[in-house]
Amino acid sequence: MFKRFIPAIVAVTTMMTACNGGKDTSQQDLSSNPFINPSETYMHTPDFSKIKVEHFRPAFEEGMRIHTEEIEAISNNPEAPTFENTLVALEKSGQVLSRVSSVFFALSSADTNDDLIAIEEEIAPKLAEHSDAMYLNDKLFGRIKVIYEGDQSTLDTEDKRLIKFYYDQFVQKGALLNPEQKETLKKINQEEASLLTDFGNKLTKATNALLFIKDKEQLQGLSEEELNAAAAKATDAKHPGEYAFSLDNTTQQSIMAKLDVRETRKFFFEASINRCMKGDEFDTQAIVKRLAELRAEKAALLGFNSYAAWKLQDQLAATPEKVTEFLSNLAKLAMPRALAEEKELEDFARQTEGANFDLEAWDWSYFAEKLRREKYGIDEATIRRYFVLDNVLYNGVFYSANQLYGISFKPRTDVSVYHEDVRVWDVLDKEGNVFALFYFDPYARASKSGGAWMSNFVDQSYLLERKPVIYNVCNYTKPAQGEPCLLSWDEVTTLFHEFGHALHGLFASQKYPSLSGTSVPRDFVEMPSQFNEHWAAEPSVFANYAKHYKTGEAMPKELVEKLQKAQTFNQSYPMIENVAACLLDQAWHSLTVENAKVTDVKAFQEEQLSKVGLLNKCIPPRYGSSYFRHIWSNGYSAGYYAYLWSEALDNDIYAWFEKNGGLTFENGSRLRSMILSKGNTEDLMSLFTEFTGHKEVDLKPLLKARGLL
């Protein structure tokens, strides 16, 4: 998943004085604040050795104050508006605010605490007001409009793209509203910002809250290593003699594939699917309902029938109707296979569980794993022994990047990090020149949000003379002292996925930070990441990293062949759970003002899934409404379909690779030069068409990859 924590450009008006509570931050002693007066660091990296919690509030306040002055100077410039004195000036503004935001929001997701949570709850509505102050600034928009409507013949392609970017952003965010409407929009945005923060914090706490099991017999099926790790976690949590577990992000829980005791599987499933719906301090239902209302109100105010219609206007899909058509086509193609697989699993389970056994959602992964073992002679425990995290990283992820793009990685131990688990590498081109920096934070911890993501500490920009500083965050289980971290196949592909995002950021080659790297529509940003997943199974790459954790021997040929044959096994399940989540997202964000007052979150979810034929007791949506972080607080509102849309794009590109020699430096260089290095400087669908020769998204390569065609 890609995360862009900093608002595209957060700006200002005199309203920020009220946000600052009347304090004049210029009179405070800010000389030692590392965000306001940063020390010289390698590639402008954050100096975590000097950053303290008490630095964030004053840095945010001072950053907004400085940015206010910069925006006012641009807006009130007596000279006629030009590209340089308006848009280039905007690109150069807000650097203090950008610096503190990039670090703060990285920590609030990857290593948070009560102090950071309190700051985020306080600062979120201020940042929303700060952003509104620019986008709703009549003078500033007037200058941009003059440039947009003026002569652009002397400007290059990226300059013209920046003009369009700013004009579209201002219009989309309300620049054409009247004064009364703007005041209403500001109130909506501030309330939404507070709710987003509250939702994210509640969900993180609910997901990371430990589940304790006392009886070891209830955990039959887990390995001794897994039991030892769970026992150690319980001891650390002051529950000696018990076993402690936390939840995965998704509805389905990976542990259920291993648990022999059905009641224990049900225990984990119900803890997951009822997350944030128990009426306790973690309950998010009221937040979800209010967010849906606010977003419908915002869309109506901006002249759109629904939030989805407003949000999708600058995406490749463009309209909710096109998204729904795309998802419905996938559902129609996948559902017959899903129902057949459900019957096959139930029949298989009845061989051991009895003729009256009814398959439930908490049984699916368990019996799917057993059936896979019977059909293909493999099981997850055996596979894991060949997927050591460092082997996968160095000899898989880094190796494939070297083969495709000629880049290499050199460890850095002199760059400060925010947690002892974080590692850092220089990224070098084929000639040995350092062009970027890469951080990796692999392990789960109580202070980290669930899932995996990529973002930037520093955005690449020739204008600002900045090289990209990129990080990946994952949530792999940290092994016991002296033990290796062993990954499942899904976790292997996750590592390749997130590094695909990283490559998109590492290869950025733009003048302007607003157009740099991953600053592209949601339904394109997932293409490079999902494309990179293909190399996990590329034979030459796989052979390079799939080595036994004890002996170092390569995975036996017969096991490799079995794993390859099993790749399309049970693929209808993830397709249907994904489509269900996508359509649920569209349902929430297609509400109009007239019908946006949902009274019962669970009932709404079931009604909407039933309408599209996806209310299946055995295949719940990948995320339920109350814990759907992507769409409520991570920027994928009305955009969760982007994963499947981008998967169609990436499989089409991979099909081109297959026809043209596969994993070669020539092919990688072509992709890098034609797509990965372009950022948002050109029309993205045109880039795709130029690369593949296809004008429309073709579902066939996607369906073939999923074994559904």
264 shares a domain with 148: no
538 shares a domain with 392: yes
Among 241, 274, 307, give the residue marking a domain's end.
274
Q: Which domain holds residue 166?
A: 42-176
456: DSSP letter: E
Count structural domains, the chain: 3
CA distance 168 to 284: 33
Q: What is the 3-state secondary structure (H, E, C) of 237-282?
A: CCCCCCEEECCCCCCCCHHHHCCCCHHHHHHHHHHHHCCCCCCCCC
pLDDT tens, position by position, 234-267: 999 999 999 999 999 999 999 999 999 999 999 9
Q: What is the CATH number of the domain that holds 495?
A: 1.10.1370.40
pLDDT of residue 28: 54
250 shares a domain with 117: no
> Considering the domain boundaries, does residue 364 fall inside one?
no
pLDDT tens, position by position, 492-530: 999 999 999 999 999 999 999 999 999 999 999 999 999
95 shares a domain with 225: no
Q: Is pLDDT above 70 for 125? A: yes
pLDDT of residue 481: 86
227 shares a domain with 102: no
pLDDT-derived band at 709 (thresholds 50, 70, 90) equals confident
For residue 2, the cross-strand partners are 454
429 shares a domain with 501: yes
> Considering the domain boundaries, does residue 466 fall inside one?
yes
437 shares a domain with 514: yes
Mean pLDDT of the 604-620 span:
96
Mean pLDDT of the 103-130 span:
96
> Considering the domain boundaries, does residue 639 fall inside one?
no
Q: Provide the token pair at 395.
A: 């000899």
Mean pLDDT of the 621-630 span:
97
> Considering the domain boundaries, does residue 188 fall inside one?
no
pLDDT of residue 8: 36
> Considering the domain boundaries, does residue 442 fall inside one?
yes
CA distance 287 to 283: 8
Q: Is pLDDT above 90 for 538? A: yes
126 shares a domain with 252: no
Q: What is the DSSP string of 191-239?
A: HHHHHHHHHHHHHHHHHHSPEEE--GGGGTTS-HHHHHHHHHHHHHTT-
The least confident of 102-111, 370-379, 612-621 is: 370-379
Active site residue 498: yes
Among 490, 511, 545, give the residue marking a domain's end.
545
Among 124, 150, 176, give the residue marking a domain's end.
176
227 shares a domain with 138: no
Q: Is pLDDT above 90 for 575? A: yes
Instruction: Kindly report the pTM of this predicted structure.
Output: 0.90
> Considering the domain boundaries, does residue 302 fall inside one?
no
Catalytic hit among 498, 526, 577, 647: 498
> Considering the domain boundaries, does residue 166 fall inside one?
yes
pLDDT-derived band at 24 (thresholds 50, 70, 90) equals very low
- Total residue count of the chain as it appears in this document: 709
Mean pLDDT of the 136-150 span:
98
Q: Provide the token pair at 563.
A: 């794993």
pLDDT of residue 15: 28
Average model confidence (pLDDT) across the chain: 94
> Considering the domain boundaries, does residue 474 fall inside one?
yes
pLDDT-derived band at 378 (thresholds 50, 70, 90) equals confident
CA distance 113 to 243: 24
Mean pLDDT of the 634-657 span:
95
pLDDT of residue 379: 82
219 shares a domain with 170: no
pLDDT of residue 2: 57
152 shares a domain with 76: yes
Q: What is the CATH number of the domain that holds 134?
A: 1.20.1050.40
pLDDT of residue 14: 27
Q: Is pLDDT above 70 for 369? A: yes
521 shares a domain with 425: yes
Mean pLDDT of the 180-184 span:
98
Q: Is pLDDT above 60 for 97? A: yes
What share of the chain has pLDDT > 70, as a percent? 96
